[in-house]
Amino acid sequence: MAKDIPVYDGDMWGRDAILNSRTTDDKIRELAPVVWLSRENIAIMGRYNEVAGGLTDWQSFSNRSRPWHDPNSVRPEILLTDDPPRHTEIRKVMAKVMSPPKLKALTADFERTANDQVARLMARSGEVIDANVDITRPFVHKVLPDLLGMPNEGRENMSAFGHMVWATMGPMNQVFHDALVGSEPVVVWADKSCTRENMRKDGLGEATYALADAGEITHDEAKLLVMTILAAGSDTTVITMATAIRAFCEFPGEWQKLRANPSLLRNAFDESLRWDSPSRMAGRITAKEVTIGDYVLPAGTRTGLLFAAANRDPRKWQDPDRFDIERDLKGHVGWGFGLHSCVGKIMAQLEMEALFGALIKRVAKWESAGEPEWWMTTIGHGPYKLPIRFIAA
Ligand code: HEM
C-alpha cells in the first residue's frame, strides 16, 4: 500500500527561503524522494534519481502545465509548455535558427567583445569590483542582443526584464508582486525591440521570422521565440559565469588548474552549473498516476523538480559542495535533461568560452571582497551582485 507523502509546511519561495535556498532545497531533498508542499498544494522532488527520471519520462511528467501555471495568463509561452508532437516541431525550428555552424560563425564577434572588455577591465586590478555588474553582465548584455539583431536603444532594461520574467514564474507572493512594480515600460521595450521591423536583417531574430515566412511557424510564434531567447538566455548566462567566478574565489587552486589547462573550460562551466544551479527548479504535471518509491502521485499532480538540490545530492555526487573542474559531470541537470534540456546550451558555452578564454590569459587570481547579493526571484538563483577583487597576471 502506498505511504502518505511526507508534508513540508514551510515556505520555499519567500524572501528568507530564497536567501537560504541551499538549506531549504537540501532539507526537502533529505525529507523524502517526493514531498508535499502544503502551502502550495504541489509535489516536489529533490533527489537526483527522481529529478533526472522525471525529466526523462515526459509521458508521465508532462509540460502541459506546471506549478502556478495559469493557462489564462497574459504571459505567452512556447516550448516549455509543450509536449510532443508540437514540442518536437518547435525544437526543429529552434535547431535551424541556432544551428551549431551558425553559432560557431559568431564566435569571432564574441571573442572580439570579450577581449576588448577584459583589456579595459585590467585597469581595475586590485580594486573592489562586482563580478556580475562589471564583468559578466556587460558582456552578455552586448553579445546576446547583438546576436538577435535588437536595436541598441533601451538595452539598459535587460536586467529588469530578466528579473521580471524569472521572479514571476513561481507563486504569486511578495517577490512576484515586487517584480511587477514599474515593469510596464520594460515589457513595452522588450516587445518593441523584438518586433521584426525593429530588428537588424542579419540577426537570429530575422532568421526566426524568415522561418515564419516559409510557413514553419506562425509570425506570432516567431516573435514569441525571439522573446524566449532574450528571456531565457540572458540572466542564466550572466549568473552562471558570476557563479564560476565566486567558485574560483572560494577554490583558488581550481583557477590555477584551469589557467594551466584551458581545455577544462567547458567542464569548469558545467561544474559551476552543478555546484550552484541558476535554474533552481522546473515544473511539470503528472499525465497519469506515477509511483515514486513507496509513494503515489495521482494524475494531474503539479510537481516541481529541484535541479539545484539534485545537482548536490550526495547519493549521486561525491563531496557535492566541493567545486572540482575535473569532476565527471555526466548526467548533471544544470541544463535540464531529456526532451526539454536547454536549447541555448551551445550559445551559452560559446559566450563563456570567449569571456573566460580572455580572463584566463589576463587574471592571475580572484578574491572575494564581500557577501553576494542573491537574485531575488523564485525560480532563478545566483549572485546578482558579487563583490570581488582580481589580480592581473
Ligand atoms: C548558462 C546558461 C543557461 C542555463 C543554466 C540554462 C538552463 C536551462 C534549463 C535547466 C532548462 C530546462 C528547463 C526545464 O526542463 O523545465 C533550459 C531550457 C531552455 N533554455 Fe536554457 N539555460 C541557459 C542558457 C540559455 C540560452 C542562452 C538560451 C537561448 C536560446 C536558452 C533557452 C532555453 C529554452 C528556450 C529552453 C526550453 C527548452 C524546451 O522546452 O525544449 N537557455 N535551460
pLDDT in tens, 60-89: 999 998 898 877 665 668 999 999 999 999
List, for residues 143-182, the tens digit of each pLDDT value: 999 999 999 999 999 999 999 999 988 899 999 999 999 9
In short, whether 165's Cβ falls inside 6 Å of ligand 1 is no
List, for residues 2-47, the tens digit of each pLDDT value: 899 999 999 999 999 999 999 999 999 999 999 999 999 999 999 9
Residue 343 alpha carbon to ligand 1 centre in Å: 6
Residues constituting the chain: 393
DSSP string, 21-84: HHHHHHHHHHH-SSEEETTTTEEEE-SHHHHHHHHH-TTTEESS--TT--TT-SS---STT--T
Contact between residue 133 and residue 156 where contact means Cβ atoms under 8 Å apart: no
List, for residues 212-223, the tens digit of each pLDDT value: 999 999 999 999
In short, whether 347's Cβ falls inside 6 Å of ligand 1 is yes
Contacts of 89 (CB under 8 A, 6+ apart): none
What pTM does this model have? 0.96
In short, whether 47's Cβ falls inside 6 Å of ligand 1 is no
CB atoms within 10 A of CB 344: 20
List, for residues 347-371, the tens digit of each pLDDT value: 999 999 999 999 999 999 999 999 9
Contact between residue 294 and residue 3 where contact means Cβ atoms under 8 Å apart: yes
Contact between residue 293 and residue 315 where contact means Cβ atoms under 8 Å apart: no
List, for residues 109-124, the tens digit of each pLDDT value: 999 999 999 999 999 9
* 7-392 CATH fold: Cytochrome p450 (1.10.630)
CA angle 97, 72, 206 (to 5 degrees): 20
Res. 107: pLDDT tops 90: no
In short, whether 343's Cβ falls inside 6 Å of ligand 1 is yes
Res. 106: pLDDT tops 90: no
Q: What is the pLDDT of residue 77?
A: 82
In short, whether 278's Cβ falls inside 6 Å of ligand 1 is yes
Q: Tell the residue nearest (CA) to atom 42 of ligand 1.
A: 344
Residue 116 alpha carbon to ligand 1 centre in Å: 28
Contacts of 70 (CB under 8 A, 6+ apart): none
Ligand 1 atom closest to Cα of 91? 41
List, for residues 249-261, the tens digit of each pLDDT value: 999 999 999 999 9
